[in-house]
């Protein structure tokens, strides 16, 4: 990848009030210097960070997002950061679907004693994003195209099924191998990837349809996916009532977005 001359990344950091924000304060008190590219939003717990909000940051054109919390086991609210971990893992995968590097999202832990660690994280992360370049530079997409993908990704992350599964991951995977009926982490991750792919494609299909009646082939062209996959997803969208079958034109069935 070619580095972008003069590119100064804009980085957003979500820091939990109890550890990572305190760690950032300690970096200040200790005068550890780090690059000025990061802006911080304080939240009570890293678990407040909804994946859709992370996507919103990218949609708005920010180049990198850090979500920092207490070390696992140290969350002020006990289990919060375990949820953060699972949710951000999924968010990274969704980000990948859009063509952006999942490395643009950093999830890490900073304790209230780790001022230096915080400074180092910001430094490394800023460098990493500097190397990746701007969003457009990385994906070679026009900004409006990329934005569309990101919006689709955000919508995927707002999907009930996806959110439900992310929320149950710990329970479903926990103590795998002890009870045979539990899902292994690997199986779960694979399942999640499939669902992410599918949800993302479905949002892309909806986006591509705008108001027109289209054939599967036409949709496939617009979203750049195989007609087979598109057909499967369109059927599923039809079940959900989001897409309507409008009739056959020639040999091809045509579909339209439900509602407006």
Partner 1 sequence: MKESGSVLVIGGGVAGIQAALDLADRGFRVYLVEETPSIGGRMAQLDKTFPTLDCSICILAPKMIECYRHPNITLLTYSEVEKVRGSAGNFTVEITRKPRFVDEAKCTGCGTCSQKCPIIVPNEFDMLLGDRKAIYMPLPQAVPRVTTIDKDSCLYFTRSVCKICQKLCQAEAVDFDQKPEKINLNVSAIIVATGFSLLNPSVINEYGYGRYKNVITSLELERLANASGPTGGHVTRPSDGKIPDKVAFIQCVGSRGLGRGVSYCSSACCMYATKEAILIKEHKPKSEVFIFYLDLRASGKGFQEFINRAKENWGVLYIRGRPGEIIEDPTTKDLIIFCEHTVRGEVRRLEVDMVVLCPAFIPRESNNKLSEKLRVKLDEYGFFKAEDASLVPVDSNIPGIFTCGCCQGPKDIPESVAQASGAAARAVEVITLTARREG
Partner 2 sequence: MEHRRIETPKIGVFICHCGINIGGVIKVPEVVQYAKKLPNVVYAEENLYTCSSEGLSKIKEGIQEHHLDRVIVASCTPRTHESLFRATCTEVGLNKYLFEMANIRDQCSWVHMKDPEAATEKAKDLVRMAVAKASLLHPQEETEIDVIPSALVVGGGIAGITTALCLANQGFSVYIVEKEAKMGGMLRYLHKLYPTMRNASEVLNQLVNEAKASKNIEILTSSVVKEVKGFIGNFEVAIQKGDEKTVNFEVGTIIVATGATDFEPVGMYGYKKFDNVITQLQLEQLLKKGRLQNLKRVVMIQCVGSRQEGRSYCSRICCMTALKNSKLIRESYPDANIHIFYRDLQTYGQEYEKYYREVQEKGVKFIKYLPEKPPEVSLGENGKLNVNVYHSLINKQIEISADLVVLSTPLIQHEDAKELSQKLKVPLGPSGFFLEAHVKLRPVDFATDGVFVCGSAHWPADVGESISQAYGAASRASIPMSLKRLHTEALNALVDEEICSGCGLCELTCPFAAIRIEETKKGRKAKVIAASCKGCGACGAGCPQMAISMQHFTDEQLLAQIAALAEVKS
Q: Three-state DSSP class for 180?
A: coil
In the block, tokens 């070679």 appear at 140
Rg (CA), the chain: 21
- Residue 81 as a binder of partner 1 (CB under 8 A): the answer is no
- Site residues for partner 1, window 10-69 (CB under 8 A)? 18-19, 22, 26, 29-30
Q: Quick one: 14 or 200, whose CB is closer to ligand FES?
A: 14
- Identify the CA nearest to 122 among candidates 47, 59, 68: 68
Is the CB of residue 55 less than 8 Å from the CB of residue 65? Answer: no
User: Contact between 1 and partner 2 (CB under 8 A)?
Assistant: no
- Select the span of 82-90, 110-118, 146-154, 175-183 touching partner 1 (CB under 8 A): 110-118
Q: How far apart are CA 66 and CA 14, in angstroms?
A: 6
Query: Tokens 């009646």, residue?
Result: 213
List the single partner that 69 binds among partner 1, ligand FES, partner 2, none, CB under 5 to 8 Å by kind.
ligand FES
- Binding test (CB under 8 A) with partner 1, winner from 3, 36, 60, 73: 73
* Residue 37 C-beta: closest distance to ligand FES, Å: 23
Nearer to ligand FES, 84 or 215 (CB): 84
Which one of partner 1, ligand FES, partner 2, none interacts with residue 71, CB within 5 to 8 A by kind?
partner 1
Distances (CA, A) of 257 to 29, 148, 216, 226, 238: 56, 17, 13, 20, 9
Query: How far is 56 from 50, CA to CA, in rounded Å?
Result: 10
Write each residue from 194 to 233 as x if it is in contact with partner 2 (CB under 8 A), else as -, in one continuous string: ----------------------------------------
């Amino acid at each position: 990848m070619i580095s972008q001359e003069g590119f100064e990344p804009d980085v957003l950091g979500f820091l939990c009030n109890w550890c990572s924000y305190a760690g950032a304060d300690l970096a200040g008190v200790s005068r550890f210097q780090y690059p000025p590219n990061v802006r911080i939003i304080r939240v009570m717990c890293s678990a407040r960070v909804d994946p859709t909000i992370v996507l919103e940051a990218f949609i708005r054109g920010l180049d990198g997002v850090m979500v920092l919390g207490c070390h696992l086991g140290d969350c002020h609210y006990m289990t919060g950061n375990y949820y953060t971990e699972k949710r951000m893992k999924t968010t990274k995968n969704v980000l990948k679907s859009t063509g952006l590097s999942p490395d643009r999202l950093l999830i890490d832990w900073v304790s209230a004693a780790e001022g230096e660690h915080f400074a180092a994280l910001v430094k490394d992360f800023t460098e990493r994003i500097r190397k990746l370049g701007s969003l457009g530079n990385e994906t070679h997409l026009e900004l409006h195209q990329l934005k569309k993908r990101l919006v689709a990704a955000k919508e995927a992350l707002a999907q009930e099924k996806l959110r439900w599964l992310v929320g149950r991951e710990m329970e479903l995977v926990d103590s795998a191998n002890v009870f045979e009926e539990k899902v292994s982490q690997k199986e779960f991750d694979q399942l999640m990837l499939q669902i992410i792919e599918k949800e993302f494609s479905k949002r892309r299909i909806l986006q591509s349809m705008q108001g027109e009646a289209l054939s599967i082939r036409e949709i496939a062209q617009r979203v750049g996916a195989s007609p087979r996959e598109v057909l499967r997803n369109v059927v599923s969208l039809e079940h959900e009532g989001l897409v309507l079958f409008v009739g056959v034109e020639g040999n091809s069935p045509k579909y339209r977005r439900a509602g407006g």
